[in-house]
Amino acid sequence: MSTDLLLPTAEDRGGPAQPILLVKGLRKYFPLGSSLFGRNRGAVHAVDGVDITVPKRTTLGIVGESGCGKSTTARLLTRLIEPDDGEVIFDGEAVGTHGGISIKELRRNLQLVFQDSFASLNPRMTIERAIAFGPQVHGLPAKEAVERSRDLLGRVGLEPNRFGGRYPHELSGGQRQRVNIARALAFNPRLIILDESVSALDKSVQAQVLNLLMDLKDELKLTYLFISHDLNVVQYISDHVMVMYLGQVVEVGPVEEVYRHPRHPYTQALLSAVPSLDPHHRTERTPLTGDPPNPINPPPGCRFRDRCPKAHAVCASIAPPSVVVGTDHSVACLMADPASGHPDAI
């Protein structure tokens, strides 16, 4: 099948070994109190020192509970929000710096598919025009853009003659998400971030869309960043998984490895909450104690210690650094570091 889409495929400049995305120390605080009186009320530490490595043509799943910073991270990467700190390197080039890759260029290579399929489409635009908008911005003439947009609609399984002239409210949720995917593909990007893109769909529709995504990934040589709170979905589609808690990365590694041998107490608790479908391997619940802490002005040390069953005094004084515990598998927990002083450290 022809891969001749809209715009010429963005070049692979870095080569196969270069990770397509390398992020170091990403940080974003949202200050509280906008009035004259509330200047120093502190800040929400939405994203606090996040490192990400994404090899080409893989899928990195990002999981965590609501408020852990996953969506903010997605928006920071696409520069819809400006980060306070941190380096983002796309295919070997630093984003937003001289000599690196410009933001407009970045947006040709990196696209985002949103969660709310309805709110992410202009209600007054037909879907073929909505998809054509992006390429038009990058210089493609209108007629060609619409032609290619119809071609893309066919690729995502929506027949262009039936669906092209429709408006978003005339489509179902699953169909709208296909449109959103087509819109992202219209840029011929190399990396697509999917922010809870299937969360609002029924299970059967989810399966269809996930399969579509996997087919497209192979055909078009894409890399995915798949954000979700649904652990089963992440396991199905991802090669690697990253677990976030309160704006920080607590564990990252190959998906099967992390799911089978989670090293961080939080990951263990998350996974144990997923009921097992196998009666011979019943999951044992790892209890989570305490209340979820305040993301505003978090306390020093490990942020998970208030709920961690294995917490110790030393956890309050040292913020656990990321320690490698296997191939590509690292965890931010003092128990993984024998030199940390934690009694249960291995």
Partner 1 sequence: MSNILTQTAAPADSAKPQSRNYWIGVLRRIGREKVTVVCGLILLAILLLAVLAPWVVGADPYKTSMIRRLLPIGSSGYLLGTDELGRDMIARLAYGGRMSLLIGVMPVLIAFVIGSTVGIFAGYAGGRINMAIMRLLDVFYAFPSVLLAVAIAGALGQGVSNSILALTLIFIPQLTRIAESVTTQVRSLDYVEAARMSGASSLTIIRVHILGNVLGPIFVYATGLVSVSMILASGLSFLGLGVKPPEPEWGLMLNTLRSAIYVNPWVAALPGAMIFITSMCFNLMADGIRSAMEVTE
Interaction with partner 1 in 298-337: which residues (CB under 8 A)? Answer: none
Interaction with partner 1 in 209-268: which residues (CB under 8 A)? Answer: 211-212, 215
Binding residue for partner 1 (CB under 8 A) from 4, 12, 65, 170?
Answer: 170
- Strand ranges inside the chain, DSSP E: 21-31, 43-54, 59-63, 85-90, 93-94, 110-113, 191-195, 223-227, 240-245, 248-254, 323-326, 329-331
273 binding partner 1? (CB under 8 A): no
What backbone torsions phi and psi does residue 240 show, to the nearest 5 degrees?
-125, 160
Q: Which is nearer to partner 1, 104 or 281 (CB)?
A: 104
Interaction with partner 1 in 36-95: which residues (CB under 8 A)? Answer: 78, 80
Burial group, residue 251, by CB count within 10 angstroms (0-12, 13-18, 19+): buried
185 binding partner 1? (CB under 8 A): no
172 binding partner 1? (CB under 8 A): yes
Least distance between partner 1 and beta carbon 196 (Å): 11
CA dihedral 196, 211, 192, 145 (to 10 degrees): -110
Q: Which is nearer to partner 1, 138 or 312 (CB)?
A: 138
Binding residue for partner 1 (CB under 8 A) from 178, 190, 240, 305?
Answer: 178
Least distance between partner 1 and beta carbon 6 (Å): 12
Integer Cα distance of 258 and 242 in angstroms: 9
Binding residue for partner 1 (CB under 8 A) from 25, 31, 33, 165?
Answer: 165
Cα angle vertex 62, ends 9, 111, to 5°? Answer: 25
How is residue 98 written in tokens? 């001289």
Q: DSSP state, 340?
A: G
What backbone torsions phi and psi does residue 62 show, to the nearest 5 degrees?
-120, 120
Tell me which amino acid residue 101 is: I
Q: Which is nearer to partner 1, 126 or 223 (CB)?
A: 126
Task: State the residues that interact with partner 1 by CB under 8 A.
Answer: 1, 78, 80, 103-104, 107-108, 111-112, 114, 116, 119-126, 130, 133-134, 137-138, 154-155, 157-159, 162, 165-167, 169-172, 174-175, 178, 180, 183, 187, 208, 211-212, 215
